[in-house]
Structure 1
Amino acid sequence: MTEPTPDTEPFALFSAWLAEAEQSEPNDPNAMCLATSTPDGFPTARMVLLKGLDPRGFVFFTNHNSRKGGQLLANPRASLNFHWKSLRRAVRVEGLVEQVSAAESDEYYATRPRRSRIGAWASDQSHHLGSRAELEQAVADTEARFPGEDVPRPPHWGGFRVLPSRIEFWRDMPFRLHDRRVFHAAAGGGWTSETLYP
């Protein structure tokens, strides 16, 4: 199993841990808890799926009109928490947030199943729903609007990238004497790291 060291590059370490989780986690090894905040500073959290990782950060996609989308547009700061119970590991990420490019959103959107692309149009995510029948009717209306395979990306749907300033790697150890190594983004580029008490 890959272990963090002072010389480790955190994105490489995260990629190694995620690859190991993909071999052991029974469902959604790319699931992460995304924490944002309301305009008055109240924290909110929910599970989303990591859909991209590059040297800039961690990418996920959503409806920009959803509660989380609105919060991120108003206050572009977020935290992520990955927990791989089968490996007894976790990774915590904190940083600023940017919207990904339209081209990047288009590229990922095109890989989604047709029904998921239909859902991106039909669901007024996070807003009041009168009944399940209302949602099913919206899906049917959207399928009639886009009868073929080509379902364009809605203008309100796209990606966000969390640009990490802090990444912490946690390993469960006996008697709660856990291993914790945190990486801090350095002002001139690169990373510094330190070990934390459990």
Structure 2
Amino acid sequence: MTSRSIVVVSGGVSQPSSTRLLADRLAEATVADLTARGIDTTLEVVELRGLAHDVVDMTLTGYARPDLAAAQAAVAGADGVIAVSPVFTASYAGLFKSFLDVLDTDALQGTPVLLGATGGTSRHSLVLEHAMRPVFAYLRADVVPTTVFAATDDWAEAGDDDVKPLPERVRRAAAELAERVAGRQRAARGGLYDAVPSFEDLLGGA
């Protein structure tokens, strides 16, 4: 069984956090989908709440303390990223954006990313498309088509999970991320890379 790594970036600032709850659900669904595809998955969670002071310090000094440096390295080395932020004042959290600001500009290049957000009302759901997606497009991440927003009412819905809108969106988005991560693995193992001729072949053996 092959192995891939998923890193979850949770921008929740409270404890307990609905942002972390959504991030966990997205991660669980993604891991389950990858497992069904025969891919073993390692999962790491980056809680930005605990890195807030380090993020501010790096913004001011340009120096990353060990915990922040480890989080940056985890994101840069991930085969897939799940990034979830709460919505404050009609946009993503400042801490969430500050963490992206202290990442290397190439850290997410080509990396499959699933975006999620939480808020008190579904009126904020477009934050994912008009605020978060453009930032990750600038970072050249490979953002999956389906984003997941969870309002307060989404957690309170009655009935079977199988018929709730939120679980269905979670499954769909997770499947899209898993497909991208699995496809990236296939390319790395063979096919695309194996088809590239060697420098010696290009020179005709000279």
* TM-score (norm. length: structure 2): 0.24
Higher helix share: 2
